[in-house]
Amino acid sequence: MRYATILGIFAVMLTLLPGLVFAEHVIDDSKNPGYLFVISGTSGSLDGDTLTLNGVPNVIYFSDRPDRVAGHLSLEKFVES
């Protein structure tokens, strides 16, 4: 019984070892915030793969890492960027 327990623990350790070895190669995106955008309209239509929104007053953007940033901009500025 004791031999099986030790063998099981050793097997689990061998399974986790590759993940620990490669963990140091994780890309650090803490300096590059990722933004999410919210576009809502008063009406819209879907034709195949094309979504058309009508009455879009502005676009809301936000990010929470590394800094909390939020705001809005016009649809024209959003399309330009």
6-42 tens-digit pLDDT: 655 655 565 655 555 555 555 566 677 788 999 998 9
pLDDT class for 81, splitting at 50, 70, 90? Answer: confident
User: CB-based contacts of 78: which residues, under 8 Å, 6+ apart?
Assistant: 37, 39, 59
Q: How far is CA 67 from the centre of its chain?
A: 15
Identify residue 62 by its one-letter amino acid code: F
At residue 64, the pLDDT reads 80
User: CB-based contacts of 17: which residues, under 8 Å, 6+ apart?
Assistant: none
Distance separating alpha carbons of residues 23 and 26, to the nearest angstrom: 6
pTM of the model: 0.55
For residues 70 and 15, the model is more confident at 70
Section 31-60 average pLDDT: 90
